[in-house]
Amino acid sequence: MSQKIVADIVVVGGGVAGLWLTARLHQAGYTTLLIENNTLGGGQTVKSQGIIHGGTKYALNGVLTGASEAISGMPKRWRDCLEGNGELDLTGAKVLSAHHYLWSPGDLAGNLMSFFASKAIRARVKQVKKEQLPQALQNEHFKGKAYQLNELVFDIPSVVARLAALSENRILQASSFSLVSATENKVIIRADDFEIETQRMVLSAGEGNESLIQSCNLSQPVMQRRPLHMVMVKSPNIKPLYAHCLGAGVKPRVTITTHYHQDGTPVWYVGGDLAEASGVARSPDEQIAFAKKELAKVIPWIDLTDAQWATLRVNRAEPAQNNLMRPDTAFMTQHNAITIGWPTKLALAPDFADQFITYLKKEGIQPLYNTPLPGIPRPFVATTPWDEVFV
């Protein structure tokens, strides 16, 4: 016989969006239940580069678009949380770098002059003197220019663990999901052996939203996938680097973040243009060969001869948009008591939670239930891709 759980709000999907939202709702006095069918953060979240963008990357053509403006407040919100002064207490989560950087291996290409011509952008970017360069760029052969951005980089598994703790682990691991009924004010679902009743349900399952939308007999919103082919390099010779390297165009040629394998060895996680369309078309061996050449061009003084290399194919999940454009803000839509959304960026998880809390207020949804949870199976925090692939 199935066990019954009642909660004010049920959130399906334990990536950064679901975890952040659940923690905010719990803090606001709602009884929550987060349902995860695998590991916490194991979708895109733990595979992300952990950069809390302030929008600079999206403004490289000198235009402050909706994307760059909406996101500009995020680094401060995350920093406040880290220091214990924000909307959630993230003290204890680990920061890998207090700043992200932008660097050009040679002279800045002419088409970036417009980027630095904007006053609003100049306020977010600071040129770095030689002695303050990130460790990996401190070399006599470094000829380019580097800029410090008002952005930080988190160790994401530590953020995931902290967010899970903030919702007092009201998190159920269940592999099956089916909708029993949905009306304007009540949703009943079945997840493994549990029948769960709630005032409102949020689908925040990243790529998993596509099949959940179908399970709820809905046809909207439509999801798009943006495939990426990332590269991982593990070597004791690697020095810390958190930076976009500029090419001739307005997109970073490579974006490098540094993480640590469980044995303590540093790992460069490499994305940027290299991981997008042409990178996706390459086989893993071709992608590694390409990455070796790119890194040898832009940081030739780091010896990667004995490094271990691997690639990771992963999709970003977003609402469908024309021309696979990046959406401007977190996306959320409602069908009666069911909300469906994607934060579109890790950095925008606070915006995702704001949007749902604004909706609850508008609908006048108050905490109703205060029922303790029965004993439930709980999911683990996901393992990082570098711990999975490298020995």
Interface ranges with ligand FAD (CB under 6 A): 12-18, 35-38, 42-45, 47-51, 53, 177, 204-208, 212, 228, 230, 271, 314, 316, 342-347
| Least distance from ligand FAD to the Cβ atom of residue 238, Å | 18
| Least distance from ligand FAD to the Cβ atom of residue 228, Å | 5
Q: For residues 73 and 91, give the distance between their C-alpha atoms in angstroms, rounded to a whole number.
A: 19
Answer for the pair 367, 29: CB distance below 8 angstroms, yes or no: yes
| Least distance from ligand FAD to the Cβ atom of residue 381, Å | 10
Taking the least distance from each CB to ligand FAD, the nearer of 49 and 198 is: 49
Q: Which two tokens stand for residue 48?
A: 């992300």
| Least distance from ligand FAD to the Cβ atom of residue 316, Å | 5
Q: Which two tokens stand for residue 262?
A: 């469980």
Taking the least distance from each CB to ligand FAD, the nearer of 14 and 252 is: 14
Question: Which one, of 25, 14, 54, 36, lies nearest residue 345 by Cα?
Answer: 54
Secondary structure (3-state) at 294: helix
Taking the least distance from each CB to ligand FAD, the nearer of 210 and 286 is: 210
Tell me the β-bridge partners of 171.
Answer: 34
Taking the least distance from each CB to ligand FAD, the nearer of 212 and 245 is: 212
| Least distance from ligand FAD to the Cβ atom of residue 366, Å | 26
| Least distance from ligand FAD to the Cβ atom of residue 38, Å | 4
Q: For residues 146 and 309, give the distance between their C-alpha atoms in angstroms, rounded to a whole number.
A: 27
Amino acid 161 reads A
Q: Which two tokens stand for residue 139?
A: 């070399």
Scanning 8-144, the segments in alpha helix (DSSP H) are: 16-27, 66-71, 74-82, 113-117, 119-122
Taking the least distance from each CB to ligand FAD, the nearer of 136 and 231 is: 231
Answer for the pair 374, 5: CB distance below 8 angstroms, yes or no: yes
